[in-house]
Chain A
């Protein structure tokens, strides 16, 4: 935002949206990180905190939406201003979904805690969430700079998370085949892994929105994908 508007109140309104989005990003990050921590340490109290934090994130998303509607009605924004506001609505929706995914992981802590999470698997999930959180954190940094170049490079890195997810998927299948008693916790863990993988997708959505806000164009080409979990099958070997 090189120069300011003749209406200074308009600048304040746009700053308000940006500030709210950054706050939402911080809270969403924290929820995801704590949900995975609660999962691998079987910490139900922490899981409960994540679940109750979600209401705050939901309220913030509604606030961004309401404020954006008022700005559109009162200012009739165009060009970069309009893209800024439309982008804020979309990013708030993505962050709200990230919070929901963290909450869903937290809810599964209770179901999984009876048997605990095998150490090796826990490490895999932690690594997956580190990748997703790093991507989320970077995309939120890019949001503050509005760099189209950086947004584009983040979008091209979702591949790593997808590959990691596929590997966890295979691992979980192996555990389930080893012992049917693993099926319940492993199914929950599978959803947890999927939740974390989805966070990467939302970070990518946000990167695309930032690119659009900065340039007015949609990023070219397909997203790189290495998510082959949908073709993985359990091969029973005697």
Chain B
């Protein structure tokens, strides 16, 4: 058992990386859709400047948990969230919280790229404009440029910023959505299967981007691709039937997970 403990804390360069500050924390999180309970007492820390992957079979609650982190579940009528979720120690379900401001701090990228039916420039400029992040046109131009650069899209679109965002390829559209999320300088970015509609090359570009974004943001990604979780994340959380089965270093999860349910799932076995 001693050996096992050692392997978990093994990544030495990780010593600083392996124990980053906790950015968000879910404590005893429960979710009900009407009378049906979708999440059972989930306790999950989200570490700063870390990519946390949420994996598990369909209906396991991973997307439900993700949506709790920026109160996207508020939009669903009969959805009730219990327990506590904090961002920098502050309860995000506290009545004093401004949900619009919360979602600026905790941005989201969806499964299917969903650019606004506007120009590439306007797609990125929209957020900073409504949040009043730029004092003038020059500042706004600057935000658009840096956001597109951070999303690795600048070189591909700099000469056609006024063309429609919807005219880009699927992979480019998804990176545009990431640029749009990045433009309001969020602290956390939630990604709900961001590559499931993309081809392998576009997927690789988005994954490479996730890897870079980690330096400036905290990222939580829901993915059905175990290989993707293994490639992009530092921490992996395994969900099953609304429960958090196991959360650990990604290296540990994919070489020697503690729970047999995790092992069966990642190895593609019958549970």
- On chain A, the residues within 8 Å of B162 by CB distance are none
Task: Tell whether, in the assembled complex, residue B255 and residue A216 are in contact, meaning their CB atoms are under 8 Å apart.
Answer: yes
Could you write out 24 A-B pairs with CB less than 8 Å apart? A3-B269, A5-B268, A5-B270, A6-B270, A7-B268, A76-B227, A77-B267, A78-B226, A78-B255, A78-B267, A79-B254, A79-B257, A80-B263, A81-B267, A82-B254, A82-B255, A83-B256, A215-B4, A215-B256, A216-B4, A216-B7, A216-B255, A216-B256, A217-B4
B interface residues with partner A (beta carbon < 8 Å): 2-4, 7, 226-227, 230, 254-257, 263-264, 266-271
A200 CB to nearest chain B CB (Å)? 24
Measured between beta carbons, the chain B residues less than 8 angstroms from A76 are 227
Give B256 Cβ to nearest chain A Cβ, in Å. Answer: 3
Closest-by-CB residue of A relative to B257 is A79
Dominant SS among interface residues on chain A: loop
Q: Is the CB of B268 within 8 A of A6?
A: yes
Which residue of chain B is the closest to A82 with respect to CB atoms? Answer: B255
Give bound CA distance, A103 to B256, whole Å: 38
Instruction: Specify the main secondary structure of chain B where it touches its partner.
Output: helix
Is residue A175 contacting chain B, with contact meaning CB distance below 8 A?
A: no
- CB pair B255 A83 closer than 8 Å: yes
Tell me how far the C-beta of A215 lies from the nearest C-beta in chain B, rounded to whole angstroms. Answer: 8
Interface residues on A, range: 10 to 19
* Distance from B80 Cβ to chain A, minimum over Cβ atoms (Å): 35
Give the residues in chain B near A218, CB-CB below 8 Å. 3
With contacts A80-B263, A216-B7 known, what are 11 further pairs, Cβ within 8 A? Answer: A3-B264, A7-B268, A10-B268, A76-B227, A78-B226, A78-B254, A78-B255, A82-B254, A83-B255, A83-B256, A216-B256
* Interface residue? A220 (CB, 8 A): yes
Is A231 an interface residue when CB atoms closer than 8 A count as contact? no
Residue of B nearest to A6 (CB): B268
Contact with B along A1-18 (1 / 0, CB 8 A): 001111100100000000
